[in-house]
């Protein structure tokens, strides 16, 4: 949640536009409660406050901690380890339930665009290729054995499916986890699902993933924006891609520098992305964009893991570039449905 992003740094932003990051004003106020305050008030309440990528890396080096370990220690200032694990597990359980529900969806999405739900069809087709009988059954199924003949890009098909499932659920008005917004809610759960199914992910690995992703969400929220209405889709899908890339790099054993690099790569290649939903609905291009964003996250994490964390463009530089680009972007490309695809595609 947005309030949680602020908590880790001990800082606060004023005059925020929440985009679709919170459900309503009452929910936002209740959620923030004692979780926000001035930087001066909050800085002493966590052991490792940070407000930037450089600050995060410095704190990790000083404390000898990974990104996830550092965020975890900050969280332990507010709750016990058991409570934290339970909350992280609950987040993943809600995400996983959303993916599963999305694979069962049928028919067209509401709103008048007559967009068909595809996740269920793709799920069934993939299961038929991987499991004898082709019946819709266990959600994850059995991953192919190493060396088994087949299309290696089936992994990407599954990743696409996971993201589509979540965003079709969002478009249908069903329950999703904002990560960091509803419109970009499919990327983090899709990449975690990839981690679980294809990399043998564990419960502890998922917790590390979420903690590292939160660190990146903190930095983006404090220094730029996650709202499409402020900076375009680069702030929504771009931020989610960066969070997921960082989380995956952490879960794969990445160093703090590799985690920061993964986030930077993902964000860099979303710069300039506009928010121009047809009919003002979070369907086209939003649903497919989450699938593409999830693939980009995995690619960014893998690129980062092949290096040692050394790179030319810092996360802070790319976040500031995203902010500046968003400020320069015309309002018709920022969630108003007055430009781009929203005016060049006939609604029917």
- Give yes or no for residue 28 having a pLDDT over 80: no
Give the H or E element holding residue 276: none
Give the H or E element holding residue 37: none
- Give yes or no for residue 142 having a pLDDT over 60: no
Yes or no: say if 243 and 5 are a contact pair by the CB < 8 Å rule: no
Quote the pLDDT of residue 271. 98
Domain count for the chain: 1
Among 15-19, 61-65, 100-104, 333-337, the range scoring the smallest mean pLDDT is 15-19
- Give yes or no for residue 4 having a pLDDT over 60: no
Instruction: Supply the mean pLDDT for the chain.
Output: 87
74-102 pLDDT, tens per residue? 999 999 999 999 999 999 999 999 999 99
Quote the pLDDT of residue 130. 75
Which tokens is 136 given?
A: 């819709």
Q: pLDDT confidence of 26, banded at 50, 70, 90? A: very low
| Mean pLDDT for the stretch of residues 129-150 | 53
Whether the pTM exceeds 0.85: the reply is yes
| Mean pLDDT for the stretch of residues 144-158 | 72
User: What is the maximal distance between C-alpha atoms in the chain?
Assistant: 61
144: three-class secondary structure by DSSP: coil
Residue numbers of the domain that contains 92: 2-344
Among 55-69, 137-151, 161-175, 257-271, the range scoring the smallest mean pLDDT is 137-151
Q: Which are the contacts of 62, defined by CB distance < 8 A and separation ≥ 6?
A: none
| Mean pLDDT for the stretch of residues 107-130 | 94
Among 108-112, 147-151, 269-273, 284-288, the range scoring the smallest mean pLDDT is 147-151
| Mean pLDDT for the stretch of residues 228-253 | 98
178-187 pLDDT, tens per residue? 999 999 999 9
Quote the pLDDT of residue 346. 75
Quote the pLDDT of residue 348. 57
Yes or no: say if 246 and 309 are a contact pair by the CB < 8 Å rule: no
114: left (phi over 0), alpha (psi -120 to 50) or beta: left
The per-residue b/e assignment along 236-261, b for 16 or more CB within 10 angstroms, e otherwise, is bbbbbbbbbbbbbbbbbebbbbbbbb
More confident residue, 276 or 134: 276
- Give yes or no for residue 134 having a pLDDT over 70: no
Quote the pLDDT of residue 140. 53
278: left (phi over 0), alpha (psi -120 to 50) or beta: beta
Q: pLDDT confidence of 44, banded at 50, 70, 90? A: low
- E-assigned strands of the chain? none
How far is 89 from 91, CA to CA, in rounded Å? 5
287-323 pLDDT, tens per residue? 999 999 999 999 999 999 999 999 999 999 999 999 9
Task: Enumerate helices (H) and strands (E) in the chain, giving the number of each.
Answer: 16, 0
In angstroms, the Cα distances linking 74 to 5, 53, 81 are 12, 16, 11
Quote the pLDDT of residue 151. 75
């Amino acid at each position: 949640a947005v309030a949680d992003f602020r908590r880790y740094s001990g800082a606060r932003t004023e005059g925020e536009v929440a985009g679709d990051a919170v459900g309503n004003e009452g929910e936002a106020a209740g959620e923030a409660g004692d979780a926000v305050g001035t930087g001066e008030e909050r800085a002493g309440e966590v052991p490792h406050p940070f407000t930037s990528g450089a600050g995060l890396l410095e704190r990790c080096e000083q404390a000898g901690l990974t990104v996830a370990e550092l965020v975890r220690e900050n969280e332990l200032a507010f709750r016990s380890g058991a409570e934290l694990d339970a909350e992280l597990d609950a987040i993943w359980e809600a995400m996983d339930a959303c993916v599963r529900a999305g694979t069962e969806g049928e028919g067209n999405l509401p709103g008048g665009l007559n967009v068909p739900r595809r996740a269920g069809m793709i799920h069934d087709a993939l299961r038929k290729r991987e499991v004898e009988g082709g019946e819709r059954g266990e959600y994850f199924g059995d991953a192919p054995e190493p060396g088994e003949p087949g299309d290696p890009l089936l992994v990407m098909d599954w990743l696409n499916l996971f993201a589509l499932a979540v965003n079709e659920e969002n478009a249908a008005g069903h329950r999703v986890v904002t990560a960091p917004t509803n419109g970009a809610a499919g990327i983090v759960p899709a990449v975690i699902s990839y981690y679980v199914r294809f990399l043998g992910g564990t419960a502890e690995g998922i917790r590390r993933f979420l903690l590292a992703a939160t660190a990146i969400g903190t930095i983006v929220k404090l220094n730029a924006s996650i709202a499409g209405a402020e900076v375009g889709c680069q702030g929504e899908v771009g931020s989610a891609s960066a969070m997921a890339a960082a989380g995956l790099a952490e879960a794969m054993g990445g160093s703090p520098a590799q985690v920061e690099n993964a986030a930077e790569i993902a964000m860099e290649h979303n710069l300039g992305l506009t928010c121009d939903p047809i009919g003002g609905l979070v369907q086209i291009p939003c649903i497919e964009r989450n699938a593409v964003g999830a693939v980009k996250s995995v690619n960014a994490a893998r690129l980062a893991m092949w290096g040692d964390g050394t790179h030319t463009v810092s996360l802070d530089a790319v976040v500031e570039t995203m902010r500046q680009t968003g400020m320069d972007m015309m309002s018709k490309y920022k969630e108003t449905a007055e430009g781009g695809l929203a005016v060049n595609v006939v609604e029917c």
